[in-house]
Structure 1
Amino acid sequence: MTSISKRDKKHIWHPLTQHKRNPDMRGIVRASGSVLYDENGKQYIDGIASWYTAMYGHCNPSITERVYGQMQKLDHVVFTGFTHEPAVRLSEELLKILPKNQSKIFFSDNGSTSTEIGIKMALQYHHNLGRKNNVLLAFEEGFHGDTFGAMSVSGLSVYNGPFEEFFIDVERIPIPNLNNIDLILKELQALILEKDIAGFIYEPLVQGAAGMKIYEATALDKILSLLKANDVLLIADEVMTGFGKTGKNFASDYMLVKPDIICLSKALTAGLMPMAATSCTQIIFEAFYHDEVAKGFFHGHTYTANPLACTAALAGIELLNSKTIQGNIKRIIQQHEDFIGKLGSHPAIESSRQCGIILALDLSLPMSRYGNLRDKLYQFFMKNGVFLRPLGNTIYVLPPFTISEEELNKIYEVITKALAHFGTN
């Protein structure tokens, strides 16, 4: 029988792939816990939880069994004019763990649409109140998704280049640190006077696609405080950081100033089903609550609040709240800290950093984001049975909460081998 990978070549166009340079895809036939199994029998430890989704391990039976049970009762129903128990319960459970100022949940399909919705909410909020605030504020090198609004506020041109002339109006500021925060605040005060800013979208504490760049909560709090005082809506993109990865339920929990809007996806459904959610405060919702129909929020997706996805999310939140997972998070954080300590001032490492279970190492060796050398590093990891996707010269680890101590040590061992191998090139 022809292999999955050979059959794939005939018809499939993969994301983030230049097929002329990367023609071959590995056929994965099974996944369990922290391990992926390919069609040739090779195993790979999933060191990034399949883009930060399968945080409770692949095919976790406590999740799959709940979804199977839901399949017997209600598979899907349109979410306009109808509601159902899984969606109602999920809204209740989300609001228990989200920052206390959140009040409403709007469901959609994926991370990009969750941020797209947050952007649209902010723009229409001001429109409904009779204001012409149509400028958005974002960090340099932020990434918020691939739909047009999300691309507009993203600062990585490798993804956005051909489309930039079509974008909405965005002003960008650097990520803050103790050295530049005063300058940023001064720049912001000028922007607030010059521009009609509707909202500020930000990845709290960790810029994922930019290379897991980590910045201080105290510096971000100063920015949020100034913007909040000037009626700029705060849109926290927690698609990557949400659900325990930073050591707290949400990265926003580290700041005193809470967002007006929060965008969620990825780990929301534990990697089992596509779904997203955008939460907001009651004040925002009330700006859309009106006798005039056009002031409603006319955004919808066919699979909004799919009952199976809601059930997977409910099972995931239950696991997140469990003593076992909370204990695992603490153990992984400690293992990361110990590994960084053992590496010390390794000659092949330019810098290292950690936030919760997110670990990142920058190699001293320069690499382009999708260049030949970076591809060789990726293949080195795969050959050694570890699935990691370097972002240029940044190696990052963001494992499932269920990864064993031995599996995580295997990842560290392979990274150490890679440092020795590529550090001499």
Structure 2
Amino acid sequence: MQKVDANHLWHPYTQHKTAYPHIAITKGKGALLWDENGKEYIDAIASWWVNPYGHSNPVIADAIYKQLTTLEHVLFGGFTHEPAVALAEKLIPILPDNQQKIFFSDNGSTAVEVALKVALQYYFNKGEKRTKIIAFENAFHGDTFAAMAASGISFFTEAFQGSMIQVTRIPVPTPGEEAASLEALQALLETNEYAGFIFEPLVQGAAGMVMYAPEQLDKLIESCKKYGVFTIADEVMTGFGKTGKNFACDYLTQQPDMMCLSKALTGGAIPMALTTFTQELFDGFYDDDVNKALFHGHTFTANPTGCAAALASLELLSDANIQGGIARIHEQHLAFQKRVENHPRVKTTRVLGVIFALEFKRDSSDSYYGDFRNTLYRFFIDKGIILRPVGNIVYILPPYIISEAELEKVYQIVGEALDMF
């Protein structure tokens, strides 16, 4: 399998000239994966945060099977169907109560793309010139062009500078940077040149699980509302229980104007994404003039099979056992944090919900995909643990169904890495 892979497949975020052969996975169950040689791995990052209910979840699989025997797909232009309607009825009540409209797309990046286009076109439709977007430094919002523009990790985007929408970045309101963040935002708002402010609420995932307080985000959102700048919560990573609540925005007193959802939406079964909106935003496109419509779509928009998977995932999210798993993982993370926070190789640790992050103390800075990161990654893989360090930061974000023993093994291996590197 690896030979054919090497001959024909191009993998994401990979320099193929220097990469190790890709591991061929043949089976998954719960928090575990097995390769073609029978080696077992604990999936400690839920396969890029998409499998909170575990691999081969029977509830999701059964929902998909039943939907496939009824209606696998129908175009969403000019048509609708019961799974999409049922998903809206199930999701809207657990979103912030200002969210009233849902637009379907295919993945987190396209959910962000839709949100940014809506913010910009809303003002275009009104005849106002607001052509810029505000984002955080070191943000990551995806790999399509508008999402790239809003992202602040330069090596992902530097080849495309000059080809993207205009985005201005402000500091993240981490401890000590709260005033600088608010002041920078305020200065931009006063120009009346900006249509939207996009953010990863409370946790910047790809930046290394950088965390900041909800009270600070509330202040930023409140300021945006005073100037008519739409706020976009990118909950692609944080959504559906990762932070301990259904959504990171549930920690806020202010409500965003838009939300971007994907990853855990379908429990990792089928690619699907949503962008949700206030009625005000929808009304900005509701007009006798067809040119003011949102001309954006995807072939698989609102795919019925994906909607069925999402409905099953929402049922699982509300299950008492799943909620108990989220609480248990959080408590285990806190206990592990106490065990390692004073280790001489630990610079910082942080925990929110099922997210744990640990920063190795290093004499020199480590690049995102540098030698130290790669050494750690190979060490974990050799030990049967799937973790993907970000530079010198190791994070754990496991499926909610991971057993106490499996999670303890992950901690044990991370502890071994601290003692070795």
TM range (shorter): over 0.9
Could you say which residue in structure 2 is the equivalent of 1:40?
37
Could you say which residue in structure 2 is the equivalent of 1:300?
297
Give the secondary-structure state (helix, strand or coil) at the position aligned to 1:194: coil
* TM-score normalised over the length of structure 1: 0.97
Give runs of aligned pairs for residues 346-357 of structure 1, distance below 5 A.
Answer: 346-357=343-354
Q: Distance in 2 between matches of 1:55 and 1:177?
A: 27
How much does 1:183 deviate?
Answer: 3.2
Q: Distance in 2 between matches of 1:158 and 1:184?
A: 23
Q: Distance in 1 between matches of 2:185 and 2:69?
A: 54
Give the secondary-structure state (helix, strand or coil) at the position aligned to 2:42: strand
Match status 1:173 vs 2:173: no
Calculate the aligned-residue CA RMSD, in Å.
Answer: 0.9
Could you say which residue in structure 1 is the equivalent of 2:398?
399
Could you say which residue in structure 2 is the equivalent of 1:126?
123
Q: Distance in 2 between matches of 1:179 and 1:188?
A: 16
Give the secondary-structure state (helix, strand or coil) at the position aligned to 1:225: helix
How much does 1:195 deviate?
Answer: 4.6
Structure 1: 5+ residue stretches without partners: none
Could you say which residue in structure 2 is the equivalent of 1:84?
81
Give the secondary-structure state (helix, strand or coil) at the position aligned to 1:44: strand
2:347 aligned partner, one-letter code: E
Q: Distance in 1 between matches of 2:330 and 2:183?
A: 36
Could you say which residue in structure 2 is the equivalent of 1:203?
200
Could you say which residue in structure 2 is the equivalent of 1:247?
244
Match status 1:59 vs 2:56: yes
Q: 1:249 to 1:239 in 2, by over 3 A?
A: same
2:159 aligned partner, one-letter code: P
Q: Distance in 2 between matches of 1:126 and 1:353?
A: 39
Q: Distance in 2 between matches of 1:174 and 1:95?
A: 32
Could you say which residue in structure 1 is the equivalent of 2:276?
279
- On the 8 A contact 1:54/1:267 being kept in 2, the answer is yes
Residues 340-349 or 26-35, more deviating: 340-349
Could you say which residue in structure 1 is the equivalent of 2:211?
214
2:412 aligned partner, one-letter code: E
* TM-score normalised over the length of structure 2: 0.98
Of residues 159, 163, 170, the one that matches 2:156 is 159
- On the 8 A contact 2:113/2:144 being kept in 1, the answer is yes
Could you say which residue in structure 1 is the equivalent of 2:226?
229
Match status 1:101 vs 2:88: no
Give the secondary-structure state (helix, strand or coil) at the position aligned to 2:347: strand
How much does 1:91 deviate?
Answer: 1.0
- On the 8 A contact 1:243/1:268 being kept in 2, the answer is yes
- Aligned length, in residue pairs: 419
Could you say which residue in structure 1 is the equivalent of 2:65?
68
Give the secondary-structure state (helix, strand or coil) at the position aligned to 1:100: coil
Query: Runs of 4+ in structure 1 displaced over 6 angstroms?
Result: none
- On the 8 A contact 2:174/2:211 being kept in 1, the answer is no
Give the secondary-structure state (helix, strand or coil) at the position aligned to 2:276: strand
2:344 aligned partner, one-letter code: P
Of residues 345, 355, 359, the one that matches 1:358 is 355
Give the secondary-structure state (helix, strand or coil) at the position aligned to 2:190: helix
- On the 8 A contact 1:9/1:23 being kept in 2, the answer is no
Q: Distance in 2 between matches of 1:179 and 1:371?
A: 28
1:292 aligned partner, one-letter code: D
Q: Distance in 2 between matches of 1:273 and 1:185?
A: 39
- On the 8 A contact 1:78/1:302 being kept in 2, the answer is yes
Could you say which residue in structure 2 is the equivalent of 1:344?
341
Q: Distance in 2 between matches of 1:101 and 1:342?
A: 42
Could you say which residue in structure 2 is the equivalent of 1:375?
374
Of residues 2, 7, 10, the one that matches 1:10 is 7
Residues 174-183 or 339-348, more deviating: 174-183
- On the 8 A contact 1:135/1:195 being kept in 2, the answer is no
How much does 1:194 deviate?
Answer: 2.5
- On the 8 A contact 1:37/1:43 being kept in 2, the answer is yes
- On the 8 A contact 1:178/1:219 being kept in 2, the answer is no
Q: Distance in 2 between matches of 1:180 and 1:275?
A: 35
1:366-388 CA-to-partner distances (Å, cap 9, x unmatched) read: 43211122111101001111000
Q: Distance in 2 between matches of 1:416 and 1:96?
A: 42
Q: Distance in 1 between matches of 2:100 and 2:117?
A: 18
- On the 8 A contact 1:79/1:305 being kept in 2, the answer is yes
1:269 aligned partner, one-letter code: T
Q: Percent identity?
A: 53
Of residues 285, 309, 314, the one that matches 1:288 is 285
How much does 1:23 deviate?
Answer: 4.2
2:375 aligned partner, one-letter code: K
Q: Distance in 1 between matches of 2:179 and 2:349?
A: 26
1:271 aligned partner, one-letter code: G
Q: Distance in 2 between matches of 1:209 and 1:184?
A: 20
1:247 aligned partner, one-letter code: G
Q: Distance in 2 between matches of 1:94 and 1:121?
A: 21
Q: 1:178 to 1:415 in 2, by over 3 A?
A: closer
How much does 1:178 deviate?
Answer: 4.7
Could you say which residue in structure 2 is the equivalent of 1:318?
315
Give the secondary-structure state (helix, strand or coil) at the position aligned to 2:139: coil
